Amino acid sequence: MVSRTYKKAASSGDNMIDIRLAKNIYRSAVDPSATDHEGAKWWEIVRSEMQDVLDAPTIRDAAKIISWWHLDWGSVGNTPHAVATRIRQEYDKHVSRETFVKQ
C-alpha cells in the first residue's frame, strides 16, 4: 500500500481544490444528487472541509472532520472512513487527469 502525504500536496498553493473540483469530487465520492441549488455558502463549507480531509495526515483524522455530515452514517449506508477514502481517491483521479491533460 502506497502511503500518501496529502498535507504537503493539498497545502501547496497550486494544489488547493477550487469550488469546481470540490463539486466534482463531492458528487463522485459522497452524493451524486447534490446540485448547485445547495447554494454558494454550502458549497464553500463543503470545499473547505474537503480540503481539510485532504490535508489530514491519516484517513482516521480525515474521517473525524466529516463525521458530522450525517449524524447516523449507517442510515445512508456509509461511514466517514469510507467517504474520506473516496474523497482522496477522487482527488487523485482528478489531479492525475488534469496533469495528463496539461502535458
Phi-psi region of 102 (alpha: psi -120 to 50; beta: other; left: phi over 0): alpha
Question: With bands split at pLDDT 50, 70 and 90, how would you rate the model's confidence at 12?
Answer: very low
Contacts for 103 with CB less than 8 Å, ≥ 6 apart = none
pLDDT at 17: 92
> pLDDT exceeding 90 applies to what percent of the chain?
44
pTM of the model: 0.71
Is pLDDT at 79 greater than 90 in this prediction?
no
Place of cell 473547505: 48
30: its cell numbers: 459522497
Structural contact between residues 59 and 85, judged by C-beta atoms closer than 8 angstroms: yes
Query: pLDDT digit string (tens) for 17-63?
Result: 999 999 999 998 888 889 999 999 999 999 999 999 999 999 999 99
Structural contact between residues 19 and 44, judged by C-beta atoms closer than 8 angstroms: yes
Q: Which helix (H) or strand (E) holds 6?
A: helix 6-11
